Structure 1
Amino acid sequence: MILITGATGTIGSEVLKLLVERGERVRAVTRSPDKLPPDLDVVRADFDDPDTLRLAMTGVDALFLLTAPAKPTPDHDLAALDAATRAGVGTVVKLSAIGTGETIGDRTVGGWHLAAERAVQDSGMAWTVLRPSSFASNFLRFAQPIAAGGPVPNLTGNARQGVVDPRDVAAVAVEALTTSDHKGQTYALTGPEALSVPEQAAILAAALGRAVETVDVPADAARADMLGHGMDASAVDAVLTGVEWARAGHNAVVTEDVAEVLGRPATSFATWVRDHLAAFR
């Protein structure tokens, strides 16, 4: 039995889909069971409720660990790991983020991920850590404004990043969950090329056959917008630390990890755009 946390999100839902297609026994953990098909093994659980986590782990062999707390903390990962080890789960695949543990000035990128990664590695389970780069699907946040002719907000200027298709991240996770070939590995998952936001916009524009503009967003304006939408201040600080790290050129990284795990090239941003073009029209 494979347990999937974050089962209704961008990565978790794709991991769930791929595992079901492969005929694996799966259980999905969510706080919103109504968002998943009724024929699935779905458990309502909360990272802040140890009893629900304990029940969710019953009979589980492998855990896909994806947490997204409102505040940047490893506590949810630690709670899930505690429940998993008590239940005798043998394998854990942790979704982290590229750049975790690196520094920019006196700040650490993804400090909460780093603490969770260390706990995963010390858990006694067979482990794999996935550190994806910027998701191609981030552009979907602006699908409606783009469709209306508006610009794409750009926090990272001309800095390039190894933009990755979330479907590739999910496919790597499935391999790590279902085979023993990736124990003890930390994978930096990127697409096949490093792209800036303006370059991504140009690729989308070519597919749409019309201009797609970008507009630079200063850090202060981004901070005010995120706080104005109710985002926790510590989470805003964490996001902007990652933005500054990327703006400094530290995420202009392309690896072969996706290709080595999947035995095929990583998916290009142009291919991702083609497959999601309807969302921008």
Structure 2
Amino acid sequence: MILVTGASGTVGRHVMQLLQQSGHRARAMVRARPGRTMPPGVDVVQADFEDLASLRRAVADVRAVFLLTAPDTPTPDHDMALLAVARAAGVSSVVKLSAIGTGERFGTATVGAWHHMAEDAVRASGLTWTILRPSSFASNCLYWADAIRAGQPVPNLTGDGEQGVIDPRDIAAVAVAALTDPAHAGKTYTLTGPELLSLPDQANQLAEAIGRPVVTVDVPPASAPQQLLASGMPPAAVEATVIGTAWARAGHNRILTDDVATVLARPPAAFRDWARRHREAFTGAP
């Protein structure tokens, strides 16, 4: 049995689908969320990272865990809680979803500081481990959908900083390979798409896909904290976001790797293809 945390989310749902399609037993760990259900027949366990009893139920009879945590306020505590119950239950391996640039110093700050602590915990857990560090998700553009449908500009916190934007389905495919093949044990993979794109580049490719303009408006680093706080983001999450976006704006995420191609024996998907598949989200029309 393979436990997939975050199973109803952007990457986790693709991990579940791929595991099912390849005949592996998989259990979806979810929190109760109205309107977000798993397909019929899926082994589902309702659990919360802050409820140890529920985590123990989730890891019962599990061999491997796909560890994806997305706390509202950045913290390694959720990763550590799951690792503790997994180790006690005899789980043998873990694949941790982290983020590109984790642990790098940027001025006086550390990029992905909470991921860095969680990665250290994974390596020290006693479990066989693989760590995945994906670049910017193509699906982050879905946050623009309301603005685009309303003809409004989308905010650009990363300026002209280029990134190796990656399709979440490729992240999931690498995760499944790591969960099912011991050849990936002890590896840290930096996962990118096939080309470097700035946010305006993404907007241009998305505009081509949907047949309408996508306008961006630059949000200078000095203005970003106030805008993010006004959106309702918790202060600690704002701090982490500001560090990460300033790091990318400064060109430090101008990174392409061959890791997706090496693991999957095929090239990663292009952002343009992702945009075409998701055009309905931005137009309301198939």
**Equivalent-residue separation in structure 1 for 2:240 and 2:266 (angstroms):** 33
1:212 matched residue in structure 2? 214
- SS of the residue aligned with 1:64? strand
Deviation at 1:225, TM superposition (A): 2.7
2:22 matched residue in structure 1? 22
Deviation at 1:51, TM superposition (A): 1.1
**Equivalent-residue separation in structure 2 for 1:14 and 1:239 (angstroms):** 25
More divergent stretch after superposition (31-40 vs 153-162): 31-40
**Equivalent-residue separation in structure 2 for 1:263 and 1:39 (angstroms):** 31
Deviation at 1:222, TM superposition (A): 2.8
The C-alpha deviation readout for 1:198-252, integer Å capped at 9, x for no partner, is 1111111222333221111123433223222332211110110001111110000
1:99 matched residue in structure 2? 101
**Equivalent-residue separation in structure 1 for 2:224 and 2:23 (angstroms):** 44
- SS of the residue aligned with 2:267? coil
Deviation at 1:275, TM superposition (A): 1.1
2:199 matched residue in structure 1? 197
The C-alpha deviation readout for 1:40-68, integer Å capped at 9, x for no partner, is 11111111111111111110000000001
2:7 matched residue in structure 1? 7
Moved over 6 A (4+): none
1:114 matched residue in structure 2? 116
In structure 2, what residue type is equivalent to 1:3? L
**Equivalent-residue separation in structure 2 for 1:207 and 1:73 (angstroms):** 37
In structure 2, what residue type is equivalent to 1:265? P
2:282 matched residue in structure 1? 280
**Equivalent-residue separation in structure 2 for 1:150 and 1:230 (angstroms):** 20
The C-alpha deviation readout for 1:59-85, integer Å capped at 9, x for no partner, is 000000000112111000000000100
In structure 1, what residue type is equivalent to 2:56? R
Confirm or deny that 1:166 pairs with 2:158.
no
- SS of the residue aligned with 2:133? strand
1:268 matched residue in structure 2? 270
More divergent stretch after superposition (21-30 vs 147-156): 147-156
Q: 2:210, 2:276 within 8 Å by CA — same for their partners in 1?
A: no
Confirm or deny that 1:156 pairs with 2:129.
no
Counting only pairs closer than 5 Å after superposition, residues 213-232 of structure 1 correspond to structure 2 as 213-232=215-234
The C-alpha deviation readout for 1:111-141, integer Å capped at 9, x for no partner, is 1111111111111111100000000011111
1:137 matched residue in structure 2? 139
Equivalent residues, number: 281
**Equivalent-residue separation in structure 1 for 2:101 and 2:70 (angstroms):** 17
- SS of the residue aligned with 1:267? coil
1:257 matched residue in structure 2? 259
Confirm or deny that 1:179 pairs with 2:170.
no
**Equivalent-residue separation in structure 2 for 1:229 and 1:280 (angstroms):** 21
In structure 1, what residue type is equivalent to 2:32? S
**Equivalent-residue separation in structure 2 for 1:14 and 1:147 (angstroms):** 26
Counting only pairs closer than 5 Å after superposition, residues 32-111 of structure 1 correspond to structure 2 as 32=32, 35-111=37-113
More divergent stretch after superposition (137-146 vs 208-217): 208-217
**Equivalent-residue separation in structure 1 for 2:246 and 2:157 (angstroms):** 9
Deviation at 1:280, TM superposition (A): 1.6
More divergent stretch after superposition (240-249 vs 202-211): 202-211
Deviation at 1:38, TM superposition (A): 4.4
**TM-score between the two structures when normalised by the length of structure 1:** 0.97
More divergent stretch after superposition (245-254 vs 147-156): 147-156
In structure 2, what residue type is equivalent to 1:174? V
In structure 1, what residue type is equivalent to 2:259? D
- SS of the residue aligned with 1:10? coil
More divergent stretch after superposition (256-265 vs 47-56): 47-56
Deviation at 1:162, TM superposition (A): 0.6
The runs of 5 or more residues in structure 1 that have no matched partner are none
**Equivalent-residue separation in structure 1 for 2:78 and 2:182 (angstroms):** 26
**Equivalent-residue separation in structure 2 for 1:102 and 1:13 (angstroms):** 29
